[in-house]
Amino acid sequence: MSRTLILWFRQDLRLHDNPALQAALADAERIIPLYIHDDTTAWAPGAASRWWLHHSLTALADQLKQRGSRLILRTGESTGVVQQLIDETGADAVYCNRIYEPALLKRDKQLHRQLKDNGITFSVYQGNLLREPDTVHNLSGQPYKVFTPFYKCYLREGWDNHIYKTPGQLPGVSTRIKSEKIADLDLLPTIGWDSGFYDHWQPGEAGAWKQLRRFLRDDLADYHQARDVPSLQGTSCLSPHLHFGEISVRAILAELDRQGPRKQGEGFIRELIWRDFAHSVLFHFPHTTDKPFDERFRNFKWKQSKKLLQAWQQGQTGYPIVDAGMRELWHTGYMHNRVRMIVASFLTKNGMIHWKQGAEWFWDTLVDADLAANSMNWQWVAGCGVDAAPYFRIFNPVTQSQKFDKEGLYLRRWVPELASLPNKYIHEPWKAPDEIQQAAECIIGEDYPEPILDLKATREAALEAYKKQITRKS
């Protein structure tokens, strides 16, 4: 038991239910907790993710310190950093939990070969999903491409429910091992666009559990209905905590069972399995981060419009529900799930802008930016991915707003220039008579933009373009 082992934290910034940590405690006397900030990989964290990471690492470092350990921070290309720390410490093993981004999986395989050649153990554990993607196949032995049978497979076959407890004490780390400071990673923005984040989020393991218990106590019972209403906090808001591994999905389900009957949480469980589905798609079809799953769309002629893209990014399209969502995103690093579908449909279907341009903006501005979910969901809306929405499904931002934000509460919060408009016109402010606009102190074209595009005309154009593409390639 005199081994020295490196415990490599990645997307598992927690101590509770951490399989790699538990294995390390069982196998080694000296454990060196390590986090590597590596910006050399594809799809390096965006600005909002970096903000979250700063605070999540701070929380993890505090937890380790309270238990007698400390977090070693290094920057650089991961393979080289790991090897350097091995050379410094004489460690003969590296333990970590598996991650699924294609570039990172490739890197792990290369590192495994390199360490094995040098007699170093490289052990990887499953701590971030319910099941490993390569263990879930259909009756033909192929990966699932449609969610419903994938979901039924999970319900039929189940998953490992074992939960590892948080250790009370951890081995100390020699002061001779140098560590960078979290502040030196330069993760926080240099301008204060993140000021609104602090009112909405508490990154870290404690924040994850606080958020889970709030959701189970206050919102789970109404989840099936409230999750579609953007003015309500009806969703769990656990996605950033899950992405950074501050809480495990198994622990969430265990807490759900402890709180009450699982049947009440069926809709929520379905969303957690959807997350596993996204990772399965990414694992089996790694090209979908940049290219459409549906090959019929490989050469689809998307449009280029800097004006439309910028108006969409800035929440200045003239369609209130779209603008509200984009402004919520900029202010909080988050956007309500239904509104995400609306703004994505608007950009890709009405605007005919490439889905990847929307995915890249979300990647940079979402605190819960996750490569598997982001890639799959954008392709789902655009109609070119696995289990995609039919090409003729185009979300109408006006009718969606009228249905799910009937009183305009969400619109008034995030598009305050429309706040004084009556409900009759707030969803379509350009239709308000001049006297109504003047009374509301909101002149369309001056205080709030006119619609940047025509919904009916762009819908018909999109349907025609999609139909031609599918017919041509079928």
In the residue annotation, 361 being an active-site residue is answered as: no
Give me the count of residues in the chain.
Answer: 474
In the residue annotation, 423 being an active-site residue is answered as: no
In the residue annotation, 29 being an active-site residue is answered as: no
Question: How many CA atoms lie less than 13 Å away from 117 in the CB half-sphere?
Answer: 7
Q: Token digits for 435? A: 């006297």
Burial of 398 (0-12, 13-18, 19+ CB in 10 A): middle
Q: How far is CA 401 from the centre of its chain?
A: 24
Catalytic residue (one of 132, 193, 255, 302) = 302
Burial of 226 (0-12, 13-18, 19+ CB in 10 A): middle
User: By 3-state DSSP, what share of the chain in percent is helix, strand and coil, each rounded to 5?
Assistant: 55, 5, 40
In the residue annotation, 363 being an active-site residue is answered as: no
Catalytic residue (one of 209, 355, 363, 414) = 355
Question: How many CA atoms lie less than 13 Å away from 371 in the CB half-sphere?
Answer: 22
Q: Is 89 helix (H, G, I), strand (E, B) or coil?
A: helix
Residues 6 or more apart whose Cβ sits within 8 Å of residue 177:
32, 72, 85, 88, 89
Cα distances (angstroms) measured from residue 385 to each of 134, 219, 290, 391: 20, 31, 11, 11
Q: Which amino acid is at 372?
A: A
Catalytic residue (one of 378, 380, 396, 417) = 378
Within 10 angstroms of residue 43's Cβ, the number of other Cβ atoms is 18
Q: Which of 307, 347, 303 is nearest to 326 (CA)?
A: 347
Instruction: For residue 4, list its beta bridge partners.
Output: 30
| Radius of gyration in angstroms for the set of CA atoms belonging to the chain, rounded to a whole number | 24
DSSP state of 353: B
Within 10 angstroms of residue 88's Cβ, the number of other Cβ atoms is 14
How many angstroms separate the CA atoms of 226 and 221, rounded? 9
DSSP state of 197: G
Catalytic residue (one of 193, 274, 330, 430) = 274
Q: Which of 384, 309, 288 is nearest to 43 (CA)?
A: 288
Within 10 angstroms of residue 214's Cβ, the number of other Cβ atoms is 13
Q: Residue 337: what are its φ and ψ, rounded to 5°? A: -60, -45
Catalytic residue (one of 132, 193, 337, 360) = 337
Within 10 angstroms of residue 390's Cβ, the number of other Cβ atoms is 8
- Catalytic annotation, residues: 271, 274, 302, 337, 355, 378
